[in-house]
Amino acid sequence: MSTSEFYDATKLLNNLNITNWDHHLREKLSAYPIMGKAIRKGTPYKVIKPTVDDLFEDGARMYSYREDSTNLDNESRKDFLSACTDFKKNEARRNDEEAKICALITSSFSEEAKMLLRSNKTYVLAADDNDSLLVGYNNSLI
């Protein structure tokens, strides 16, 4: 017995409804400025954690050390702590957007797609991790 015997013919996947689904989801992703853009471009978005050894684009150090060369000076320490706080906020925002996008994407799947994806280990791992880039927009899954 084939899978198609269990579903109404109008709910089965085909080139027409996959294309419509893709256009619809890409439009919905515009509501998520960070993760939506990353998914549409097909590139993961990673928030880079600051380190005391970070450099500017021209190669100059972002944070200055005291004369002892082991501790940051007061101004650089404040800047570094501010960068760490910004990192935590950005990472929390990214995680929040990613969870919302995963819910949006998975709620848009047909019953057939959900059944097929449950047997895909990569999809299950991505869904468990709220990895929206892999949940619905990795073309190897759908």
Q: What is the mean pLDDT of the chain?
A: 81
pLDDT at 13: 60
| Rounded Cα distance, 37 and 31, in Å | 9
| pLDDT for 42 beyond 50 | yes
Question: Domain boundaries in the chain?
Answer: 8-135
Phi, psi of 61 (to 5 degrees): -70, 140
Phi, psi of 64 (to 5 degrees): -95, 145
Mean pLDDT of 17-44: 83
DSSP, collapsed to helix, strand or coil, labels residue 120 as coil
pLDDT at 115: 82
**Structure tokens given for 91:** 């990472």
